[in-house]
A = this chain, B = another copy of it.
Amino acid sequence: MSKQKQVILKIIQSKKMHLTADEIFMYAKQEIPSIALGTVYRNLNKLVEENQIKRVSLPNSPDKFDWNLSKHSHIICSRCSSINDIYISEIDNILKKEIDSLISYNITIDYVCEKCKAKEKDATN
């Protein structure tokens, strides 16, 4: 495993956030100033293939990379675009029951987060 790949994986696992390739590139440059963006993309693809990280595709935004390998869904605030993990165990059972040859699934939920809800309430007062 090259130093570049190690650093990229470490960044994703330690930040515990949903980072884009570009964000990962910027953090990686702090440790390896000569690193190229192409190298970041190449390693991200490899890490996804090796199941060391997961790719998260959302509309109107670059792919994000997820350190969290456990089965979980993403809730995205429609106002501020913040992303968080959410665990709903019942869904796992239902999908396993319903789908023959299930490999994996991806759930993204749009909602309004508490912060934005509070802000909107403020604005109407």
Give A contacts to B, CB under 8 Å.
55, 57-59, 63, 75, 78, 86, 88, 90-91, 94-95, 98-113, 117
- What is the CA–CA distance of A3 and B106 in the complex, to the nearest angstrom? 37
Q: Is the CB of B94 within 8 A of A90?
A: yes
Are A88 and B94 also in contact (CB < 8 A) when A108-B105, A110-B103 are?
Answer: yes
Cross-interface CB contact of A111 among B57, B75, B90, B101, cutoff 8 Å: B101
Residue numbers in B under 8 Å from A94 (CB-CB): 88, 90-91, 94
Q: Is the CB of A109 within 8 A of B99?
A: yes
Residue numbers in B under 8 Å from A57 (CB-CB): 57-59
Are A117 and B101 also in contact (CB < 8 A) when A55-B59, A59-B63, A63-B59 are?
Answer: yes
Sample 9 A-B pairs with CB under 8 A, ordered by A number. A57-B59, A90-B90, A91-B94, A100-B111, A102-B109, A103-B110, A103-B112, A105-B109, A106-B110
Q: Is the CB of B110 within 8 A of A107?
A: no
